[in-house]
Chains A and B, each alone.
Chain A
Amino acid sequence: MFLHDIGIIPGGKKTDAVGKDALSITNLSRRGFVVGSSLFVVGVALAGCSSYEEPKIDPDAIDLPEAGPSPLTEVKGGDATPALWIAIEEDGTVKITCHRSEMGQQVWTSMAQIVADELEADWDKVQIVQAEGHERYGDQNTDGSRSVRYNFHRLRLAGAAMRQMLTEAAAVYWKMQPSECSASQGLVSNNQNSDTLSYGNLAKLAARLQVPGEADITVKDPKDWRYINKEIPSLTIPLITRGEGTFGIDVDKPGMVYAVIARPPQLFGRTGAVRDADTLAVPGVLQTVKLPDAKPPALFQALGGVAVVAEDTWAAIQGRNALEVDWIDGPNAGYDSEAFAEQMQQTAKRSGTVRRKRGNIASGLSSAANRIEAEYYAPHLSQSPMEPPAATAQWDGDKLECWACVQDPQATRQTLSDLLKIDKENITVNATWLGGAFGRKSKPDFVVEAALIAKEVGKPVKVTWTREDEVRHGYYHSVSAQRLEAGMDGNGKCTSYLHRTVFPPIASTFVPGMDVPTDGEMGLGATDVPFAMPNLQVESGNAKGHLRIGWLRSVSNIYHAFAVQSFAAEMAHAAGRDQKEYLLELIGDARTIDPGDEGATYPNYDASIEEYPIETARLTNVVNMAADMAKWGRDLPSGHGLGIAVHRSFLSYIATVIEVAVSPDGSMTIPGIWLALDAGTVINPRHAKAQMEGGTIYGLSNALFGEITAKKGAVVQENFPSWRVLRMGEAPRAFEVEIVKSNSAPAGVGEPATPPAAPALTNAIFNATGHRIRKLPIIGASGSKLSLPAKETA
């Protein structure tokens, strides 16, 4: 990669600021760390010394050999060249580029913690620059709970390399060896006489030095970390409390108009006759724009329909209400989610495609002393971030610039290039803050809509999705039917385990007619099952997609963990054993597991199985921790129950214990939740804990209330509350999190708390009431309590 390739040569194009305060986007130069050139002198009064006046360095007065190219462009994780990530200004401000999207996981703060720690920056001088979508940053797909995992190594290198170059610059200035200088908190000290030079003063000189190679960079010993693994306050939250910061829906451009879209009720339904006279009569409405019909596969296309463009969002919504469109049925007109559930359940009863195999399941089951089986069902779900999708697009001739709440600005740029047939170099995509995402904003269809409309209108256009749009036209979490069967010996020990899972794959959104669950989805809680019995088989059954199927926080782990961890408790019950003790027995001895040894094609979250093996000891450890936190086994009041579940996902290990209190009439509260997390190295324990709470409640909200259904191909739910989510009064009263102290490689925290939440809850309900829930949601959109049938147990 060279300067002219990446368009960041000094004096080149400056992108607009997307926000206020620390949000400004600046140019990045590989050589020039500094903007501006005003002379200044910093006076620093050092304790115990007479006043020391820092000399102003004139870098041009110092003769240096010409530096070669950066040797850090292709380290593990991508480019670690310091100038790509760090710009130090003369006043000492340290601008750190965050190439991942901020959606509440505090990635601004965590990326900055890593860089600033190795850089020995003064935290108070740190500001964040949000990167636009560009390949120079490497992977920007803020999905899969992997921002830290992908970037920890290279951002440490970038920070440390910069620290060494600043130290070397000071040594050059003082005409001594770098080893005789030390960098700390934004200053380089002369070890011989306590003189100091500030980073802002050294930056220009440092920029002319050779970037060190990886072998010559010394990252800190973890015991010397100042910011990593510390509860550093969020960089975004002070802005949030004042209503500042720019989300996608907040973008404003001069001359901008506002659009909402009437979309076909069915996926691949088409737009027929449009009668817009009443729409155009609404005050403030400017025009309507018919969008091209979508054709399979869905990809990230706009869904078609008719856009209403107006002087404000409200007028656009009113105009849409007045619009009459004859929608033409498409290939999904026959989709009825209730009938489809029946069909999937039938598929789950038949032998499927074997995806992992150990021993002989048929003989194992037939020779078992005791056999149990159970079927589970989980519905479609909507991500429903509080900020619905919103995007602003502006054309300048052939050039397109967009501002949007996207999880993957690079994929957005590529999608725009593919679908609008324009050169990628002519497209700029600016990621704003995301008001939640949960996978919805990995799909940039709404940015395509904005670009199409803006082209037609000839002005900057902001497309806003209303909540109804978000609920009815999403990329839904897949619906699933599963069947599990187990055989036990005379002592109740499990000897045989069969898991069959049926669901429309996410690939159905991208490949026409694709109905085979992919290895990736199977590896989210099915083929990676960590159980130790001698006979084990995991099978899949096919199912077609009729809505757009997409990622939702923790993806297939949700339904797989629900079924597997519920079934573990069902086995314990059949064996007359304690849930937790039986779970530990299922997991078995401390060992590492590679599902690939048993015929699975297992992606392991795109990590090597050597670096991130499945370690049963870590599962066992978090089970014991969570159980101890909850005082598992304690006497409980009548109607109370504790339930436990454990799951490895996104390379992290989480066990969750939930206590429920159920009244005889079925009304239920959650007095407490106890969660143990092993995510290896954790950058910010406070923010990881917030993700544990958030991920768990997200899972509970779905399990208790969440259900998207379809009739005649159209989603039935419309807004809150027909699409119901958990509220304050339904949240648990107590929530305790413990994090395993670990220097292991960092794993995910954004998603992995979600999968164990539902089975821990249903296992608790079973222990409280004897009622086993195998179909979600537990309560649904209109219910207020559990419906408790006659008890299943004696």
Chain B
Amino acid sequence: MATTLNINGKDETIDAAPGTPLLWVLRDHLKMTGTKFGCGVAQCGACTVHVDGAPTRSCITAHDSLDGAKVTTIEGVQGRAADAIREVWVKNDVPQCGYCQSGQIMAATALLAENSSPSDEDIDAAMSGNICRCATYMSIRRAIKEAAS
């Protein structure tokens, strides 16, 4: 049964099995591979997207539960917070391999949109769900603070 999803401001008709997580709809059906698979069990944050602005783990979110919601992915995220995060990410060469960084950017953007001057504790709370095996954590912390200032 086809479902219609609003992704990055555009309505997309999805023909995937009921219960298929948004992650695989984005990646395999819509070929939007910016959103990454890391664990499949909401433990690593690589699959983070925004649903109505809130950071959401797309790997455990059934696509057909999102009727009427606005989904934003790394390919489409924009606005003041997203622009500021992208700018400091590039300026400071924050990513290494980059694989987890879509999720990191989505989480950091949501944090900054909510909280314009996050403390270390705020950053820990918002970002500890996003694993980076290259360990860009210190760079991310510095960059979020720079983006906020």
Residue B69 interfacial (CB < 8 Å): no
Residue B56 interfacial (CB < 8 Å): no
Most A CB atoms within 10 A — which of B90, B97, B131? B97
Residue A313 interfacial (CB < 8 Å): yes
Beta-carbon contact of B131 and A237 below 8 Å: no
Q: A243-B75, A694-B134 are in contact. Are A728 and B94 (CB under 8 A)?
A: no
Cβ contact of A721, chosen from B24, B43, B96, cutoff 8 A: B43
Measured CB to CB, the closest approach of chain A to B96, in angstroms, equals 3
B3-40 interface bits toward A, Cβ cutoff 8 Å, 1 = contact, 0 = none: 00000000000001100110010011101111111111
Chain A residue contacts of B81, Cβ below 8 A: none
Chain A residue contacts of B35, Cβ below 8 A: 243
Q: Which partner residue on chain B sits nearest A318 by CB separation?
A: B17
Chain B residue contacts of A385, Cβ below 8 A: 97, 99, 133
- In whole angstroms, what is the CA distance A284 to B135 when docked? 37
A240-275 interface bits toward B, Cβ cutoff 8 Å, 1 = contact, 0 = none: 111111110110100000100000000000000000
Q: Which partner residue on chain A sits nearest B85 by CB separation?
A: A241
Chain B residue contacts of A691, Cβ below 8 A: 96
B64-82 interface bits toward A, Cβ cutoff 8 Å, 1 = contact, 0 = none: 0000000001110000000
Beta-carbon contact of A103 and B97 below 8 Å: yes
Chain A residue contacts of B74, Cβ below 8 A: 242-243
Q: Which partner residue on chain A sits nearest B124 by CB separation?
A: A729
- In whole angstroms, what is the CA distance A524 to B82 when docked? 44
Q: A249-B37, A385-B99 are in contact. Are A312 and B28 (CB under 8 A)?
A: yes
Beta-carbon contact of A698 and B98 below 8 Å: no
Beta-carbon contact of B39 and A719 below 8 Å: yes
Cβ contact of A386, chosen from B46, B129, B138, cutoff 8 A: B46
Beta-carbon contact of B16 and A698 below 8 Å: no
Residue A300 interfacial (CB < 8 Å): no
Within 374-395 of A, Cβ neighbours of B (below 8 Å) are at: 384-388
Measured CB to CB, the closest approach of chain B to A313, in angstroms, equals 5
Chain B residue contacts of A252, Cβ below 8 A: 31, 33
B84-109 interface bits toward A, Cβ cutoff 8 Å, 1 = contact, 0 = none: 00100110011111111110010000
Measured CB to CB, the closest approach of chain B to A237, in angstroms, equals 5
Beta-carbon contact of B131 and A386 below 8 Å: yes
Beta-carbon contact of B98 and A233 below 8 Å: no
- In whole angstroms, what is the CA distance A466 to B127 when docked? 23
- In whole angstroms, what is the CA distance A102 to B95 when docked? 13
Chain B residue contacts of A246, Cβ below 8 A: 33
Cβ contact of A693, chosen from B36, B43, B138, cutoff 8 A: B138
Beta-carbon contact of B28 and A467 below 8 Å: no
Q: A243-B73, A386-B44, A727-B128 are in contact. Are A435 and B135 (CB under 8 A)?
A: no
Q: A104-B96, A237-B93, A690-B96 are in contact. Are A314 and B131 (CB under 8 A)?
A: no
Q: A252-B33, A312-B16, A690-B93 are in contact. Are A720 and B136 (CB under 8 A)?
A: no
B101-145 interface bits toward A, Cβ cutoff 8 Å, 1 = contact, 0 = none: 110010000000000000010011101111111111111110000
Cβ contact of A467, chosen from B17, B40, B86, cutoff 8 A: B40
Residue A229 interfacial (CB < 8 Å): no
Residue A70 interfacial (CB < 8 Å): no
Q: Which partner residue on chain A sits nearest B44 by CB separation?
A: A720
Q: Tally of A-B residue pairs with Cβ under 8 A?
A: 188
Residue B2 interfacial (CB < 8 Å): no
A interface residues, tally (CB under 8 Å): 68
Chain A residue contacts of B127, Cβ below 8 A: 728-729
Residue A150 interfacial (CB < 8 Å): no
Beta-carbon contact of A735 and B138 below 8 Å: yes
Q: A233-B90, A283-B17, A728-B124 are in contact. Are A247 and B99 (CB under 8 A)?
A: yes
- In whole angstroms, what is the CA distance A464 to B38 when docked? 11
Residue A741 interfacial (CB < 8 Å): no
Measured CB to CB, the closest approach of chain A to B9, in angstroms, equals 15
Q: A234-B93, A312-B20, A314-B28 are in contact. Are A435 and B136 (CB under 8 A)?
A: no
Beta-carbon contact of B24 and A312 below 8 Å: yes
Q: A237-B93, A245-B98 are in contact. Are A387 and B36 (CB under 8 A)?
A: yes
Measured CB to CB, the closest approach of chain A to B28, in angstroms, equals 4
Q: A314-B24, A433-B97 are in contact. Are A698 and B31 (CB under 8 A)?
A: no
Beta-carbon contact of B99 and A387 below 8 Å: yes
Q: Which partner residue on chain A sits nearest B91 by CB separation?
A: A233
Measured CB to CB, the closest approach of chain A to B17, in angstroms, equals 4
Beta-carbon contact of B40 and A466 below 8 Å: yes
Q: A104-B134, A312-B28 are in contact. Are A436 and B34 (CB under 8 A)?
A: no
Within 452-504 of A, Cβ neighbours of B (below 8 Å) are at: 464, 466-468
- In whole angstroms, what is the CA distance A317 to B100 when docked? 22
Beta-carbon contact of A386 and B133 below 8 Å: yes
- In whole angstroms, what is the CA distance A741 to B56 when docked? 45
Measured CB to CB, the closest approach of chain B to A236, in angstroms, equals 6
Within 263-300 of A, Cβ neighbours of B (below 8 Å) are at: 283-284
Residue A725 interfacial (CB < 8 Å): yes
Beta-carbon contact of A729 and B21 below 8 Å: no
Beta-carbon contact of B138 and A731 below 8 Å: yes
Most B CB atoms within 10 A — which of A104, A317, A438? A104
- In whole angstroms, what is the CA distance A701 to B96 when docked? 17
Beta-carbon contact of B36 and A467 below 8 Å: no
Chain A residue contacts of B130, Cβ below 8 A: 728
Cβ contact of A720, chosen from B98, B131, B132, cutoff 8 A: B131
Cβ contact of B28, chosen from A105, A313, A435, cutoff 8 A: A313
Residues on B close to A: CB < 8 A? 16-17, 20-21, 24, 27-29, 31-41, 43-44, 46, 73-75, 86, 89-90, 93-102, 105, 120, 123-125, 127-141
5 A-B contact pairs sorted by A residue (CB < 8 Å): A104-B97, A386-B132, A436-B96, A467-B38, A691-B96
Residues on A close to B: CB < 8 A? 102-106, 233-234, 236-247, 249-250, 252, 258, 283-284, 312-315, 317-318, 384-388, 433-438, 464, 466-468, 686-687, 690-691, 693-694, 696-698, 701, 719-721, 725-729, 731-733, 735
